[in-house]
A and B are shown apart, each in its own frame.
Chain A
């Protein structure tokens, strides 16, 4: 339930042509077959009373409030469960149905607390509304009979309460948990009068609930209510904006009281999420006003000095002067910058412009370097551009879903819900992952094939898939002949015996028979879609693997229509955008190489400065050059490289070696400990701009409050550039987007005005596609013909040894996000207060490790300590941890190994040893961690 009401037509839309005409209270309406009478009525402007119906859920027909009369039919059918029929005449207001509705309401109200004036949902309660709508004037049964008014409130969840005394047992929460979220944590326990909503017989916190908020959203009363609303009261205004967390890019209504954010409510018209949310976007926004947040600029001469608070003018002048001094002493290439995927397109664009135009070099890189840079390389080589091929909706048309190196239920939970819905409808699922992630087996989900490959063997496995396709005659030859090039050479390569499943079994550990079955399913099961994550990219052959997946999709014709494609699941909310904006040192915006003279001329003409034709330093190269002494100053925008980047000792040695480190962030993060200038950034609630999500959807980020720092983040690089002698100014961020559109062909049609009008667009958006491009490569690839690229498997140098016999792989967990700077400053720590090491029972047993013991985790570059969690979700020989907490320092042990093409770190393969450090005492508690459980 939400105060800022969006239209609710009662039941979901039905796809298809409107061919059925009905008459409702004398008003004609034509709708697609299968549409409910309730929805058809709502489309004519007639709202039939309802309680258990809402258009985000399938019709249920339990509340009996939506009864209508239909000419020629007996009785009073529920309009939510009755489909229209041609010529049907419906009457929604008759003495008969009015009397029935009043009777139903009397029963509800006779067992409901009559505390409306003090209820937290006062003014936002459908039960209250419906009492008025049906004209309830009396409750003949009184209030003294048997009732549920003494039921207790479950306040265990940090974000919402469950007040059972106000429950009307409409099942909307139960259905939302199942139909929308796909978790099935809730049920109706008991029968008849004893029926009650239950989180599986335990409180919400100890249940399977993932706190996505779908139940709270669906609840028509105050039964499930945000604690913030209970504490603060109902919001009074609403601003549609975009989530600051993962690459799904959910649209939310930020609901406010004055300048105080009361709650975030998922927006039904949001193209990415269509009204759904996860625990992070829905509830974990408290970091924006956390006391740790720095709001004033600070400087210091040495990193051992105390910070000195200064005003903005002083900070800007100081930063510019220091940058110029470094350049004067060490040359123009001695400074550079890093852009962030947590900032807007406009904020990213001005940083890379500052580097290229004011710094006069190409030493700009983005944090996508350490996550999806191989996607950029691999998809550009094969398809012609760095872009996921589909929109999220496309998964609803997939018949076979292949998830490779991704854990969507934790890292991209709102998209995972879409995916799970399609799987429940019958789509087949293939999972390639060393770990038994939740998707492999969860309520109503069972992967047809879980290929539990050894870390580091992705390319061997994808080659074996393709080998089956080519050698068993499963190639879509018409597609290949018409749309692709290089097939013959590639097919000859892939058909070699060394690429057969039988040959790769010894390398990957994937049984040949199962791989063959999975490959056949992918090639012949209908629309087949690949979704992948950092388990693909963060390898020494990350780029090769991306090309391998692209080869596979082209060979089977699974490109260019709904339900297919190759889809990177981007980690942070604006990974796609930060890459689009020219953040890579070799590319200007729109993925155009700096060596292209015609492209450089466009920028040089507009910017009035020459652009160097050779690439600048990538992030790992910056670190190496810093230690080498040729790179001396770094501007870091919203990224904590000292925590997130691999081989922490190497990173911190590089930072310590620099003359000047400038950090622009919300908090004094790990990197800021090495900084000489701290420039406070703005939270997403203060930003005005755009984010681009993993489906290339450009969404508006709208400010709900003024910058708490006194300066918009996009203004900071502009002012530094000005202070360095380069004129760079804008009146507002829409002017920045206008400049982006002017220099970037794929953004040529994008403007704030268009985004405000359409809601969002997916690039390319230009004259050829004025409202955007949901599906790419429909009639041809961006590069013309799709290119097959041979992908020889080359094992990583990182091997398990006698000294380091286990392989560590890292990732994230549902309740936390990236380095945890945001989520650690919210109540989400209730689920994940510390990083833990997941280890297989056998590996634990031979080391004498028990659940909850403190263990040492050591690699050839470093050592750290953390708690062990024994889990048979792990294969023998592989351990796993997250990197959300700096105290753990997971990246202390990860190495300098990287993707050969892009230098994306090989986070997913580190040879380690694990040893018992301190046995767990009885008081040590790991029970509330998101502990992986056995699945069989």
Chain B
């Protein structure tokens, strides 16, 4: 059994939920920092791709965080 939702999308959304209570800019920066500290580069690259191609599947905070992750 494999997952229906892309793992990077699922994981990023799970992180974002933890930061919903924080101010948007602060939350986005914290999410981006967490991903920088703990994610393999291929996972980050995949997330960046999916932010372009399937933005609707991502939490808005993740989409904000992605702006911090772009080179």
Output the nearest chain B residue to A377 by Cβ-Cβ distance. B38
Asked if B2 and A650 sit within 8 Å, CB to CB, the answer is yes
Q: Is the CB of A621 within 8 A of B43?
A: yes
With A621-B7, A900-B17 already in contact, the answer to whether A585 and B40 are too (CB < 8 A) is yes
Contacts of B11 in A (CB 8 A): 898, 903
Check A862 against B37 for contact (C-beta < 8 Å).
no
Residues of A within 8 A of B14 (CB): 540, 898, 900
A630, B42: Cβ atoms closer than 8 Å? yes
- Rounded to whole Å, the gap between the CB of A544 and the closest CB of chain B is 7
Which of B1, B7, B15 contacts A900, CB < 8 Å? B15
Q: Is the CB of A653 within 8 A of B17?
A: no
Interface string of A383-425 (1 = CB under 8 A from B): 0000000000000000000000000000000000000000000
Query: Is B34 within 8 A of A901, CB to CB?
Result: yes
Interface residues of B in 9-59 (CB under 8 A from A): 10-11, 14-15, 17-18, 20-21, 34, 36-43
Tell me, yes or no, whether B70 is within 8 Å of chain A by CB: no
Contact residues in B for A614 (Cβ distance below 8 Å): 40-41
CB pair A586–B42 under 8 Å, yes or no, is: no
Chain B contacts of A901 at CB under 8 A? 15, 18, 34, 38
8 Å CB interface, A582-634 against B = 585-586, 593, 595, 614-618, 620-621, 624-625, 627, 630
Cross-chain contact A621 with B40 (CB below 8 angstroms)? yes
User: A333-B42, A792-B21, A900-B18 known; A595 and B1 CB under 8 Å?
Assistant: no
B59 smallest CB distance to A (angstroms): 12
- CB-CB under 8 A from B20, the residues of chain A are 792, 794
State which size class the interface on B falls in: 20 to 34
Dominant secondary structure of chain B at its interface with chain A: helix
A593 adjacent to B18 (CB under 8 Å): no
A617–B21 CB distance below 8 A? no
State the Cβ distance, B56 to closest chain A Cβ, in Å: 18
Q: Is the CB of A896 within 8 A of B3?
A: yes
Q: Say whether A363 faces chain B, with CB atoms less than 8 Å apart.
A: yes
CB pair B1–A653 under 8 Å, yes or no, is yes
Whether the Cβ atoms of A625 and B42 lie closer than 8 Å is yes
Inter-chain contact A615/B1, CB cutoff 8 Å: no
- Residues in A neighbouring B39, C-beta threshold 8 A: 615, 621
Q: Could you tell me which residues of chain A, from 855 to 886, have a CB within 8 Å of some CB in chain B?
A: 861-862
Query: Taking the complex as formed, is A436 at the interface, i.e. its CB lies under 8 A from any CB of chain B?
Result: no
A361 (CB) vs chain B CBs: closest residue: B40
Q: How far is the CB of B53 from chain A (nearest CB, A)?
A: 15
Complex-state Cα separation, A362 to B42, whole angstroms: 12
A862 touches B1 (CB 8 A): yes
User: In whole angstroms, how far apart are the Cα atoms of A507 and B44 in the complex?
Assistant: 35
Q: Does A649 contact B (CB under 8 A)?
A: yes
Contact B21 A615 (CB under 8 A): no
B37 contacts A649, CB within 8 Å? no
Interchain CB contact under 8 A, A650 and B1: yes
Known contacts A624-B7, A625-B42; is-contact A794 B17 (Cβ 8 Å): yes
Known pairs A614-B40, A621-B39, A901-B18. 9 more at Cβ < 8 A?
A540-B14, A544-B18, A615-B39, A617-B40, A620-B7, A630-B42, A647-B1, A790-B21, A792-B20
What are 27 A-B contacts with C-beta separation under 8 Å?
A333-B40, A333-B42, A363-B40, A593-B37, A595-B36, A595-B37, A614-B41, A615-B38, A615-B39, A616-B40, A620-B7, A624-B7, A625-B42, A653-B1, A653-B2, A794-B17, A794-B18, A794-B20, A861-B1, A896-B3, A898-B11, A898-B14, A900-B14, A900-B17, A900-B18, A901-B34, A901-B38
Q: 10 shortest A-B CB distances, which residue pairs?
A: A649-B1, A624-B7, A792-B21, A617-B40, A900-B14, A900-B18, A614-B41, A900-B15, A861-B1, A794-B17
